């Protein structure tokens, strides 16, 4: 009833005015991969592969459960992957094979190739 109505009336990103606790002013230094993720977002925008609004929608499409559990740049990179798959820029097979290949660099001794 009112629980589901809330889900329909407000998409996950639309939180203006909803009750929220005090602001936690702690700040963290970006990890290197987070900064690379940000640079990737900008470059994707330059090439019109994913623009800012598509990125925002891509995060929203993750749904509130995932949004609530992933950190800021974790949400971004998952959204990018989903959007690129949907646009058929990447295929699921390509991405799965690439993930295996990248992971293997850290599993084999002297595999080299930190990003």
Partner 1 sequence: MTDSDHDHDHDAIEATDSSPGYYELLEISVRELLIEKQLITAAEIRRQLEVLDSRTPALGAKIVARAWVDPAFKARLLADGRKACEEFGITFYDDTQLIVLENTEAEHNLICCTLCSCYPRPVLGLPPDWYKQKPYRARAIAEPRKVLAEFGTIVPDDVAVRVGDSTAMMRFMVLPLRPKGTEAFSEQELAALVTRDTMIGVVHPSLEARNPQ
Which residues sit at the interface with partner 1, rule CB under 8 A?
12-28, 30-33, 35-40, 42-47, 49, 51-53, 56, 59, 64-65, 67-74, 77-78, 80-81, 84, 89-90, 94-95, 98-99, 101-103, 106-107, 114-115
At its nearest, how many Å lie between partner 1 and the CB of residue 107? Answer: 7
CB closer to partner 1, 1 vs 23: 23
CB closer to partner 1, 15 vs 86: 15
At its nearest, how many Å lie between partner 1 and the CB of residue 26? Answer: 7
At its nearest, how many Å lie between partner 1 and the CB of residue 47? Answer: 6
Count CB atoms within 10 A of the CB of residue 83: 20
Task: Give the closest residue to 30 by CA, choosing from 71, 85, 81, 78.
Answer: 71
Helices (H), 26-114: 32-46, 52-60, 63-69, 72-86, 92-107
CB closer to partner 1, 72 vs 86: 72
At its nearest, how many Å lie between partner 1 and the CB of residue 62? Answer: 11
Q: How far apart are CA 37 and CA 49, in angstroms?
A: 15
Sign of the dihedral through C-alpha 69, 70, 76, 81: negative
CB closer to partner 1, 1 vs 114: 114
Q: Are 82 and 58 in contact (CB under 8 A)?
A: yes
């Amino acid at each position: 009833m009112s629980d589901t109505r809330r889900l329909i009336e407000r998409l996950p990103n639309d939180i203006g005015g909803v009750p929220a606790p005090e602001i936690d002013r702690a700040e963290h230094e970006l990890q290197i991969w987070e900064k690379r993720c940000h640079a990737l977002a900008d470059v994707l925008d330059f090439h019109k592969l994913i623009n800012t609004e598509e990125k925002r929608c891509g995060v929203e499409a993750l749904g509130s459960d995932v949004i609530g559990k992933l950190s800021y740049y974790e949400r971004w990179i998952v959204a990018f992957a989903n959007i690129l798959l949907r646009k058929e820029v990447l295929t699921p097979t390509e991405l799965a094979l690439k993930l295996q290949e990248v992971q293997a660099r850290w599993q084999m001794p002297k595999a080299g190739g930190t990003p």
